Amino acid sequence: MDRTRRVTSHLSGILYRTANLGEKGIRIVYVFDGEPPELKEMEIRRRRKIREEAALKYEDALRAGRVEDARKYAQATATLKELMVEDSKRLLEGLGVPWVQAPSEGEAQAAHMAARGDVWAAASQDHDSLLFGAPRMVKNLTISGRRKLPGRQAFVEVEPEVVDLHEVLADLGLTREQLIDVGILIGTDYNPDGVRGVGPKTALKLVKQFGDLSGVVAQTPDMDLPDNVNRIKEFFLQPKVRSDYMLSWREPNIEDVVGFLCGERDFSEDRVRKALERMKTGAARPATKPTLERYFG
Protein backbone atom coordinates (compact mmCIF):
# COMPACT_ATOMS: atom_id res chain seq x y z
CA MET A 1 0.00 0.00 0.00
CA ASP A 2 0.99 3.65 -0.32
CA ARG A 3 0.95 6.15 2.55
CA THR A 4 -2.81 6.68 2.16
CA ARG A 5 -3.38 2.87 2.33
CA ARG A 6 -4.29 2.52 -1.34
CA VAL A 7 -3.40 -0.93 -2.67
CA THR A 8 -0.41 -0.85 -5.04
CA SER A 9 0.52 -4.52 -5.44
CA HIS A 10 -1.28 -4.71 -8.80
CA LEU A 11 0.84 -1.84 -10.12
CA SER A 12 4.03 -3.46 -8.84
CA GLY A 13 3.12 -6.72 -10.56
CA ILE A 14 2.40 -5.03 -13.88
CA LEU A 15 5.56 -2.92 -13.80
CA TYR A 16 8.09 -5.62 -12.97
CA ARG A 17 6.54 -8.44 -14.99
CA THR A 18 6.22 -6.20 -18.04
CA ALA A 19 9.79 -4.93 -17.57
CA ASN A 20 11.17 -8.46 -17.23
CA LEU A 21 9.43 -9.66 -20.37
CA GLY A 22 10.10 -6.44 -22.26
CA GLU A 23 13.81 -6.68 -21.54
CA LYS A 24 13.79 -10.01 -23.43
CA GLY A 25 12.09 -8.39 -26.40
CA ILE A 26 8.74 -10.04 -25.63
CA ARG A 27 5.83 -7.72 -26.31
CA ILE A 28 2.62 -8.42 -24.47
CA VAL A 29 -0.96 -7.15 -24.55
CA TYR A 30 -3.09 -6.99 -21.43
CA VAL A 31 -6.75 -8.01 -21.72
CA PHE A 32 -9.24 -6.86 -19.09
CA ASP A 33 -12.38 -8.82 -18.28
CA GLY A 34 -15.70 -7.26 -19.16
CA GLU A 35 -19.18 -8.18 -17.93
CA PRO A 36 -19.33 -11.85 -16.93
CA PRO A 37 -21.93 -13.88 -18.82
CA GLU A 38 -25.07 -15.06 -17.03
CA LEU A 39 -23.76 -18.59 -17.47
CA LYS A 40 -21.04 -17.79 -14.93
CA GLU A 41 -23.44 -16.86 -12.14
CA MET A 42 -22.90 -20.09 -10.20
CA GLU A 43 -19.11 -19.71 -10.29
CA ILE A 44 -19.35 -16.05 -9.27
CA ARG A 45 -21.53 -17.01 -6.28
CA ARG A 46 -19.02 -19.69 -5.31
CA ARG A 47 -16.12 -17.23 -5.41
CA ARG A 48 -18.11 -14.64 -3.46
CA LYS A 49 -18.83 -17.21 -0.75
CA ILE A 50 -15.12 -18.03 -0.50
CA ARG A 51 -14.29 -14.33 -0.09
CA GLU A 52 -17.00 -13.87 2.57
CA GLU A 53 -15.75 -16.87 4.56
CA ALA A 54 -12.17 -15.61 4.25
CA ALA A 55 -13.22 -12.19 5.54
CA LEU A 56 -14.64 -13.76 8.71
CA LYS A 57 -11.47 -15.81 9.22
CA TYR A 58 -9.39 -12.67 8.63
CA GLU A 59 -11.18 -10.84 11.46
CA ASP A 60 -10.77 -13.83 13.79
CA ALA A 61 -7.06 -14.09 13.01
CA LEU A 62 -6.55 -10.37 13.67
CA ARG A 63 -8.29 -10.58 17.02
CA ALA A 64 -6.16 -13.59 17.97
CA GLY A 65 -2.95 -11.89 16.85
CA ARG A 66 -2.20 -14.50 14.15
CA VAL A 67 -0.59 -12.10 11.70
CA GLU A 68 0.44 -14.60 9.04
CA ASP A 69 -2.99 -16.23 9.03
CA ALA A 70 -4.57 -12.79 8.73
CA ARG A 71 -2.33 -12.02 5.75
CA LYS A 72 -3.35 -15.27 4.06
CA TYR A 73 -7.08 -14.63 4.54
CA ALA A 74 -6.72 -11.00 3.44
CA GLN A 75 -5.35 -12.19 0.10
CA ALA A 76 -8.38 -14.46 -0.33
CA THR A 77 -10.76 -11.53 0.24
CA ALA A 78 -9.16 -9.35 -2.44
CA THR A 79 -11.29 -8.12 -5.33
CA LEU A 80 -10.21 -6.09 -8.34
CA LYS A 81 -11.82 -2.74 -7.62
CA GLU A 82 -12.71 -0.40 -10.48
CA LEU A 83 -10.08 2.12 -9.35
CA MET A 84 -7.41 -0.62 -9.50
CA VAL A 85 -8.40 -1.39 -13.10
CA GLU A 86 -8.20 2.28 -14.06
CA ASP A 87 -4.81 2.58 -12.30
CA SER A 88 -3.57 -0.45 -14.24
CA LYS A 89 -4.68 0.97 -17.57
CA ARG A 90 -3.05 4.32 -16.73
CA LEU A 91 0.24 2.57 -15.95
CA LEU A 92 0.11 0.55 -19.17
CA GLU A 93 -0.42 3.76 -21.17
CA GLY A 94 2.72 5.18 -19.60
CA LEU A 95 4.64 1.97 -20.25
CA GLY A 96 3.64 2.08 -23.93
CA VAL A 97 1.96 -1.32 -23.65
CA PRO A 98 -1.40 -1.88 -25.38
CA TRP A 99 -4.45 -3.17 -23.55
CA VAL A 100 -7.83 -4.37 -24.71
CA GLN A 101 -11.09 -4.12 -22.79
CA ALA A 102 -12.99 -7.34 -23.43
CA PRO A 103 -16.78 -7.07 -23.70
CA SER A 104 -17.08 -10.26 -21.65
CA GLU A 105 -14.57 -13.00 -20.77
CA GLY A 106 -10.90 -12.03 -21.01
CA GLU A 107 -9.85 -15.58 -22.00
CA ALA A 108 -12.31 -15.51 -24.89
CA GLN A 109 -10.99 -12.14 -26.11
CA ALA A 110 -7.35 -13.24 -25.88
CA ALA A 111 -8.18 -16.48 -27.72
CA HIS A 112 -9.93 -14.48 -30.44
CA MET A 113 -6.88 -12.24 -30.89
CA ALA A 114 -4.58 -15.26 -31.10
CA ALA A 115 -6.88 -17.02 -33.58
CA ARG A 116 -6.78 -13.90 -35.80
CA GLY A 117 -2.98 -13.95 -35.71
CA ASP A 118 -2.76 -10.54 -34.04
CA VAL A 119 -0.89 -12.07 -31.10
CA TRP A 120 1.25 -15.19 -30.98
CA ALA A 121 -0.52 -16.84 -28.05
CA ALA A 122 -2.97 -16.31 -25.22
CA ALA A 123 -1.21 -16.30 -21.84
CA SER A 124 -3.31 -17.79 -19.06
CA GLN A 125 -3.44 -20.43 -16.36
CA ASP A 126 -7.02 -21.21 -17.40
CA HIS A 127 -7.43 -24.06 -19.88
CA ASP A 128 -10.73 -22.53 -20.97
CA SER A 129 -8.50 -20.52 -23.34
CA LEU A 130 -8.16 -23.67 -25.45
CA LEU A 131 -11.90 -24.29 -25.40
CA PHE A 132 -12.36 -20.73 -26.67
CA GLY A 133 -10.11 -21.63 -29.61
CA ALA A 134 -6.72 -20.13 -28.76
CA PRO A 135 -4.27 -21.87 -31.14
CA ARG A 136 -1.57 -21.54 -28.47
CA MET A 137 -1.75 -20.99 -24.74
CA VAL A 138 1.26 -19.97 -22.66
CA LYS A 139 1.19 -21.04 -19.02
CA ASN A 140 3.51 -19.71 -16.31
CA LEU A 141 4.36 -16.53 -18.20
CA THR A 142 7.35 -15.44 -16.13
CA ILE A 143 11.05 -14.73 -16.41
CA SER A 144 11.81 -15.22 -12.73
CA GLY A 145 11.29 -18.99 -12.80
CA ARG A 146 9.40 -18.86 -9.49
CA ARG A 147 5.77 -18.55 -8.47
CA LYS A 148 4.42 -17.94 -4.98
CA LEU A 149 2.14 -20.64 -3.66
CA PRO A 150 -1.33 -19.27 -2.81
CA GLY A 151 -1.73 -18.58 0.89
CA ARG A 152 1.81 -19.65 1.77
CA GLN A 153 5.16 -17.94 2.22
CA ALA A 154 6.72 -20.38 -0.21
CA PHE A 155 7.69 -20.48 -3.86
CA VAL A 156 7.87 -23.22 -6.46
CA GLU A 157 10.09 -23.39 -9.52
CA VAL A 158 8.11 -22.95 -12.74
CA GLU A 159 8.94 -22.84 -16.40
CA PRO A 160 6.86 -21.29 -19.17
CA GLU A 161 4.92 -23.90 -21.07
CA VAL A 162 3.28 -23.65 -24.49
CA VAL A 163 0.16 -25.72 -25.10
CA ASP A 164 -0.60 -26.06 -28.81
CA LEU A 165 -4.31 -26.63 -29.46
CA HIS A 166 -3.82 -28.49 -32.74
CA GLU A 167 -1.27 -30.81 -31.17
CA VAL A 168 -3.59 -31.48 -28.24
CA LEU A 169 -6.48 -32.30 -30.56
CA ALA A 170 -4.30 -34.56 -32.70
CA ASP A 171 -2.88 -36.38 -29.67
CA LEU A 172 -6.33 -36.95 -28.17
CA GLY A 173 -8.02 -37.72 -31.49
CA LEU A 174 -10.68 -35.06 -30.89
CA THR A 175 -12.19 -32.09 -32.65
CA ARG A 176 -12.38 -28.77 -30.81
CA GLU A 177 -16.13 -29.31 -30.36
CA GLN A 178 -15.43 -32.68 -28.73
CA LEU A 179 -12.78 -31.10 -26.50
CA ILE A 180 -15.45 -28.67 -25.30
CA ASP A 181 -17.69 -31.65 -24.54
CA VAL A 182 -14.90 -33.23 -22.49
CA GLY A 183 -14.45 -29.93 -20.65
CA ILE A 184 -18.15 -29.72 -19.83
CA LEU A 185 -18.13 -33.25 -18.44
CA ILE A 186 -15.14 -32.43 -16.22
CA GLY A 187 -16.32 -28.94 -15.29
CA THR A 188 -15.81 -25.38 -16.56
CA ASP A 189 -16.42 -21.91 -15.15
CA TYR A 190 -19.99 -22.27 -16.41
CA ASN A 191 -20.65 -25.64 -14.76
CA PRO A 192 -17.89 -25.77 -12.12
CA ASP A 193 -18.98 -29.08 -10.58
CA GLY A 194 -18.91 -31.01 -13.86
CA VAL A 195 -20.60 -34.40 -13.76
CA ARG A 196 -20.33 -36.35 -10.54
CA GLY A 197 -18.01 -39.34 -10.87
CA VAL A 198 -16.61 -38.28 -14.25
CA GLY A 199 -12.91 -37.37 -14.35
CA PRO A 200 -10.69 -36.52 -17.33
CA LYS A 201 -10.04 -40.12 -18.41
CA THR A 202 -13.70 -41.13 -18.23
CA ALA A 203 -14.83 -37.93 -20.00
CA LEU A 204 -12.38 -38.53 -22.84
CA LYS A 205 -13.41 -42.17 -23.16
CA LEU A 206 -17.14 -41.33 -23.26
CA VAL A 207 -16.81 -38.59 -25.89
CA LYS A 208 -14.56 -40.70 -28.11
CA GLN A 209 -16.87 -43.70 -27.75
CA PHE A 210 -20.19 -41.92 -28.34
CA GLY A 211 -19.09 -38.97 -30.51
CA ASP A 212 -20.44 -36.00 -28.57
CA LEU A 213 -22.50 -35.03 -25.54
CA SER A 214 -25.74 -35.96 -27.27
CA GLY A 215 -24.40 -39.43 -27.86
CA VAL A 216 -23.14 -39.68 -24.29
CA VAL A 217 -26.55 -38.69 -22.92
CA ALA A 218 -28.34 -41.12 -25.23
CA GLN A 219 -26.20 -44.02 -24.03
CA THR A 220 -26.07 -42.98 -20.35
CA PRO A 221 -29.50 -41.45 -19.64
CA ASP A 222 -28.87 -41.30 -15.89
CA MET A 223 -25.98 -38.86 -16.34
CA ASP A 224 -26.73 -35.58 -14.58
CA LEU A 225 -25.74 -32.92 -17.12
CA PRO A 226 -26.66 -29.25 -16.59
CA ASP A 227 -29.87 -28.11 -18.28
CA ASN A 228 -28.04 -25.34 -20.13
CA VAL A 229 -25.35 -27.58 -21.59
CA ASN A 230 -26.10 -26.45 -25.16
CA ARG A 231 -25.78 -22.79 -24.14
CA ILE A 232 -22.43 -23.49 -22.50
CA LYS A 233 -21.12 -25.20 -25.62
CA GLU A 234 -22.39 -22.41 -27.86
CA PHE A 235 -20.72 -19.80 -25.65
CA PHE A 236 -17.35 -21.49 -26.10
CA LEU A 237 -17.87 -21.63 -29.86
CA GLN A 238 -19.33 -18.12 -30.27
CA PRO A 239 -18.25 -15.99 -27.30
CA LYS A 240 -18.81 -12.25 -27.10
CA VAL A 241 -15.58 -10.65 -28.34
CA ARG A 242 -14.44 -7.55 -30.18
CA SER A 243 -12.28 -7.05 -33.26
CA ASP A 244 -12.06 -3.22 -33.23
CA TYR A 245 -8.87 -3.06 -31.18
CA MET A 246 -5.57 -1.43 -32.09
CA LEU A 247 -2.26 -2.88 -30.95
CA SER A 248 0.67 -0.48 -30.82
CA TRP A 249 3.82 -0.65 -28.68
CA ARG A 250 5.87 2.42 -27.75
CA GLU A 251 8.90 3.16 -25.62
CA PRO A 252 7.87 3.86 -22.02
CA ASN A 253 7.31 7.49 -21.04
CA ILE A 254 9.71 7.44 -18.12
CA GLU A 255 8.74 10.74 -16.53
CA ASP A 256 5.01 9.99 -16.71
CA VAL A 257 5.49 6.60 -15.06
CA VAL A 258 7.86 7.97 -12.39
CA GLY A 259 5.42 10.80 -11.66
CA PHE A 260 2.56 8.35 -11.23
CA LEU A 261 4.26 5.52 -9.32
CA CYS A 262 6.74 7.53 -7.28
CA GLY A 263 4.98 10.86 -6.94
CA GLU A 264 1.50 9.47 -6.28
CA ARG A 265 1.97 5.87 -5.10
CA ASP A 266 5.23 5.99 -3.10
CA PHE A 267 7.29 3.61 -5.24
CA SER A 268 11.08 3.69 -5.07
CA GLU A 269 12.23 5.99 -7.85
CA ASP A 270 15.53 4.18 -8.26
CA ARG A 271 13.83 0.79 -8.75
CA VAL A 272 11.21 2.20 -11.12
CA ARG A 273 13.79 3.94 -13.31
CA LYS A 274 15.91 0.78 -13.50
CA ALA A 275 12.88 -1.26 -14.56
CA LEU A 276 11.98 1.29 -17.24
CA GLU A 277 15.53 1.35 -18.59
CA ARG A 278 15.37 -2.43 -18.98
CA MET A 279 12.11 -2.03 -20.88
CA LYS A 280 13.69 0.54 -23.20
CA THR A 281 16.50 -1.89 -23.97
CA GLY A 282 14.00 -4.55 -25.01
CA ALA A 283 11.79 -2.10 -26.92
CA ALA A 284 14.75 -1.23 -29.15
CA ARG A 285 14.80 -4.79 -30.47
CA PRO A 286 12.69 -5.66 -33.51
CA ALA A 287 9.60 -7.63 -32.46
CA THR A 288 9.58 -11.02 -34.16
CA LYS A 289 7.66 -14.21 -33.58
CA PRO A 290 10.91 -16.22 -33.32
CA THR A 291 11.72 -14.22 -30.16
CA LEU A 292 8.82 -15.89 -28.41
CA GLU A 293 9.35 -19.24 -30.06
CA ARG A 294 13.01 -19.37 -28.97
CA TYR A 295 12.17 -18.34 -25.44
CA PHE A 296 9.21 -20.67 -24.89
CA GLY A 297 10.37 -23.47 -27.18
pLDDT by residue (tens digit) across 19-54?
999 998 899 999 999 998 887 765 556 656 666 676
pLDDT by residue (tens digit) across 160-208?
899 999 999 999 999 999 999 999 999 998 988 899 889 999 999 999 9
CATH number of 9-168: 3.40.50.1010
The pLDDT value recorded for residue 192 is 85
Using DSSP's 3-state secondary structure scheme, residue 232 falls into helix
d(CA 168, CA 181): 15
Residue 250 region, left (φ>0) first, then alpha (ψ -120 to 50), else beta?
beta
Is the CB of residue 139 less than 8 Å from the CB of residue 163?
yes
Is the CB of residue 194 less than 8 Å from the CB of residue 206?
no
Same fold for the pair 9-168 and 175-237 = no
For the chain, domain boundaries = 9-168, 175-237
CATH 1.10.150.20 describes domain 175-237: yes
Q: Answer yes or no: is pLDDT of 248 > 80.
A: yes
The pLDDT value recorded for residue 83 is 83
